Chains A and B, each alone.
Chain A
Amino acid sequence: MIDSRPRLLETAYAQAVALKRRQLWLGISLLVILVLFSGHFAEISFSKLHENIGSFVSYFDRIAHLDNGRPVISDPAEWFWGWKKWLALMGETLLMAYLGTLLGATAAFVLCFLASQNLTQSKGVVFLTRRLLEFSRTVPELVFALIFVVAFSLGPLPGILALAIHSAGALGKLFAEVVENIDMKPVEGVVAAGGNWFHKIRFAVLPQVASNFASYALLRFEINVRGASVLGFVGAGGIGQTLLEVIRKFYYADISALLVMIIATVMIIDAVTERIRHKLIGMDARS
């Protein structure tokens, strides 16, 4: 009689542990089965990797040397022989990212109010806008770029449009989330004073969301700079086309020069926009 209560606890504990163990093992065995299947589908071959891993390591060795066999660092002028052309291409890439972000953010700005439940009464409009935004951000920008290259012909234009549509989808969702989290009291105040829809947005919503919107748009610009640097792979402008060419033609020193240029640009852009974003968020916290 004295022992029965602790034993009850013990058995309950043992059962709970056993249940968790079973779940864990079930999960692990499911994962192992999935991995084996995927390994078959993805043609995993560790022997191939083992045989060729040397060429992966030597690849980085090769791109670190000039054609004459000396390390790239020893002769930066020779390494960056095409810097004028490449800088122009990098500038074009940045400009593409800028235009894509600006156009996308503008579209997202217009659509986000229609996608927020607290500002749009009609459930149908909210639903349709959300599905439209979802579609634009689910289709990868490279797919849009491929299709636009056919429709608009080669060049930066299809790339910009692809970036803009993808950005509109991604930013529209984030913007709508910000708008749905605003304080509704200023909106009610504007409505009570007889303001129309435009007044509501301008005087009640915008002051609450502007810094967040700007911060998200800057983050998107960072992402779009990375995106724009590979859009050239499908002929949609920017530095990607040249990069693809030098990789395919094994101009090793050029590969490293272009990669260094892209990575450095991306890092600088990241650092600058991060500082601006922290300032914007700080502004938000103070007000």
Chain B
Amino acid sequence: MSQVTTPLADTTQPGERDQLRQRYASHFKPLYQGNWTAIFIGLVAFALFAFGIYKLDMTFARIWGGLGELGKMVVLMMPPNPGTWAMTKVYLYAMLETLSIALLGTLFAALVAFPLGFLAARNTTINRLVQFMARRSFDTLRGVDILIWALIWINVVGLGPFAGVLALFMADLGIFGKVFSEAIEAADNKPVEGVLSTGGSNVASVRFGILPQLMPVLLSQVLYAFESNTRSASIIGIVGAGGIGLILSEQIRTMDFQPMSFVILLILITVAIIDFLCSKLRYAIIGARAR
């Protein structure tokens, strides 16, 4: 009993340890031996970190002072308070606008990306060149940030939520095009052969052979995108593309603290509700496939 209670008791016999050391030499050598690449990477990473701190002026005094300011701001933010009922209505309307932007941007992108996805998939495309071009176009669309798309569309349709819808549309087109074409490539060909072997037409083979495999994947991707677009739509207002972001950025600039925390809370709650609904819906769709 007494042996069990002492932690890490050395139970080896006098000569046994040397034997073990000989037999499992690699387990006994110090960690730094033979790990030169890891040490080199670690040193470079640390050097880069130190250089960054120096270069970007991350002094301790600045961080400490900023944290003090931040603490003061948080105190001023409490409790969240929209002010008047009229302002509450303005915030709620802006939130609805945000959700509308997210919904329409996602939906339009999904509708347009659906046919384009077939062009970018290896097994359904017209030829290799079309597939290559489609893939690269999607890459480019994804490479440009939503905020930049928003700025470009503002030049075209003017300030307001419509520019936001179009910005989300562009960015999502790139994402959907990629994931849709990947889903099409991953589809199993056996159901198609089954439909064709029982005398079905080509259209029937797509409708009954491919679509049932595809739809759950596509719908759950669309729901994911809608969740993330709710977040994006709440910030594109910062550059003037509609939604609650414009209000939030103005409040932060004018240091309107209590309404600011109300708006942030409103965004958090809305995002949480959307996430919850989407995961319920996704589960229902994927459950339907399992049945």
Interface residues of A (CB under 8 A from B): 31, 34-35, 37-45, 48-49, 52-53, 55-56, 59, 92, 95-96, 98-99, 102, 135, 138-140, 142-143, 146-148, 150-153, 155-158, 160, 193-195, 226, 229-230, 233-234, 237, 243-244, 247-248, 259, 262-263, 266-267
By the criterion CB–CB under 8 Å, are A230 and B271 in contact? no
By the criterion CB–CB under 8 Å, are B156 and A43 in contact? no
Q: In the complex the two chains form, what is the Cα distance from A73 to B86 in whole Å?
A: 54
Q: In the complex the two chains form, what is the Cα distance from A155 to B57 in whole Å?
A: 9
> A92-B56, A142-B238 are known contacts. Are A102 and B49 too (CB-CB below 8 A)?
yes
Q: A52-B157, A56-B152 are in contact. List 13 more A-B contacts (CB 8 A).
A: A38-B101, A41-B161, A42-B100, A42-B162, A44-B104, A49-B162, A52-B156, A99-B53, A143-B267, A150-B73, A157-B63, A193-B8, A230-B145
Q: List the A side residues contacting B231 at CB < 8 Å.
A: 138, 140
By the criterion CB–CB under 8 Å, are B73 and A151 in contact? yes
Q: In the complex the two chains form, what is the Cα distance from A147 to B107 in whole Å?
A: 32
By the criterion CB–CB under 8 Å, are A152 and B151 in contact? no
Q: List the B side residues contacting A98 at CB < 8 Å.
A: 48-49, 52
Q: Can you give 26 contacting A-B residue pairs, CB < 8 Å? A: A34-B103, A39-B104, A40-B100, A42-B242, A43-B162, A48-B158, A48-B162, A49-B157, A92-B56, A95-B48, A95-B52, A96-B52, A143-B267, A146-B249, A147-B73, A151-B66, A152-B63, A152-B70, A156-B57, A160-B58, A193-B8, A230-B147, A237-B56, A243-B148, A263-B140, A263-B143
Checking B99, B238, B268, B272 against A233 with a beta-carbon cut-off of 8 angstroms, the contacting residue is B238
Q: List the B side residues contacting A259 at CB < 8 Å.
A: 144, 148
A31, A230, A237 — most chain B CB neighbours (10 Å): A230
Tell me if B126 counts as interface (CB < 8 A to partner A): no
> A45-B162, A56-B153, A135-B268 are known contacts. Are A233 and B56 too (CB-CB below 8 A)?
no
By the criterion CB–CB under 8 Å, are B57 and A42 in contact? no
By the criterion CB–CB under 8 Å, are B268 and A138 in contact? yes
Within 8 A of A (CB), among B193-250: 231-232, 234-235, 238-239, 242, 248-249
By the criterion CB–CB under 8 Å, are B48 and A152 in contact? no
Q: In the complex the two chains form, what is the Cα distance from A56 to B157 in whole Å?
A: 9
By the criterion CB–CB under 8 Å, are A42 and B165 in contact? yes
Residues of B within 8 Å of A, CB-based: how many? 68
Residue of A nearest to B281 (CB): A27
Q: In the complex the two chains form, what is the Cα distance from A48 to B153 in whole Å?
A: 12
By the criterion CB–CB under 8 Å, are A157 and B62 in contact? yes
Checking A53, A138, A155, A233 against B147 with a beta-carbon cut-off of 8 angstroms, the contacting residue is A233
Tell me if B18 counts as interface (CB < 8 A to partner A): no
Q: In the complex the two chains form, what is the Cα distance from A155 to B231 in whole Å?
A: 24
Within 8 A of A (CB), among B5-47: 6-9, 45
A42, A48, A56, A140 — most chain B CB neighbours (10 Å): A42
Q: In the complex the two chains form, what is the Cα distance from A118 to B133 in whole Å?
A: 47
Q: In the complex the two chains form, what is the Cα distance from A86 to B58 in whole Å?
A: 22
Q: In the complex the two chains form, what is the Cα distance from A233 to B151 in whole Å?
A: 11
* Nearest CB of chain B from residue A28's CB, rounded to whole Å: 12
Q: List the A side residues contacting B185 at CB < 8 Å.
A: none
* Nearest CB of chain B from residue A267's CB, rounded to whole Å: 7
**Chain B interface mostly:** helix
* Nearest CB of chain B from residue A150's CB, rounded to whole Å: 6
Q: In the complex the two chains form, what is the Cα distance from A266 to B145 in whole Å?
A: 11
Q: List the A side residues contacting B101 at CB < 8 Å.
A: 38, 42
Tell me if B97 counts as interface (CB < 8 A to partner A): yes
Q: In the complex the two chains form, what is the Cα distance from A99 to B139 in whole Å?
A: 26
List the 10 closest pairs (A to B, CB-CB), nearest first. A194-B7, A38-B100, A152-B66, A41-B100, A151-B69, A42-B100, A263-B143, A151-B70, A42-B161, A156-B56
Q: In the complex the two chains form, what is the Cα distance from A111 to B238 in whole Å?
A: 31
By the criterion CB–CB under 8 Å, are B162 and A157 in contact? no
By the criterion CB–CB under 8 Å, are A56 and B100 in contact? no
> A42-B164, A147-B252 are known contacts. Are A99 and B151 too (CB-CB below 8 A)?
no
> A143-B264, A146-B249 are known contacts. Are A38 and B162 too (CB-CB below 8 A)?
no
Q: In the complex the two chains form, what is the Cα distance from A226 to B97 in whole Å?
A: 26
Tell me if B186 counts as interface (CB < 8 A to partner A): no
Q: In the complex the two chains form, what is the Cα distance from A44 to B108 in whole Å?
A: 12
Q: List the A side residues contacting B234 at CB < 8 Å.
A: 140
Tell me if B277 counts as interface (CB < 8 A to partner A): no
> A157-B66, A267-B139 are known contacts. Are A226 and B162 too (CB-CB below 8 A)?
no
Q: In the complex the two chains form, what is the Cα distance from A146 to B253 in whole Å?
A: 8
Residue of A nearest to B242 (CB): A42
* Nearest CB of chain A from residue B286's CB, rounded to whole Å: 15
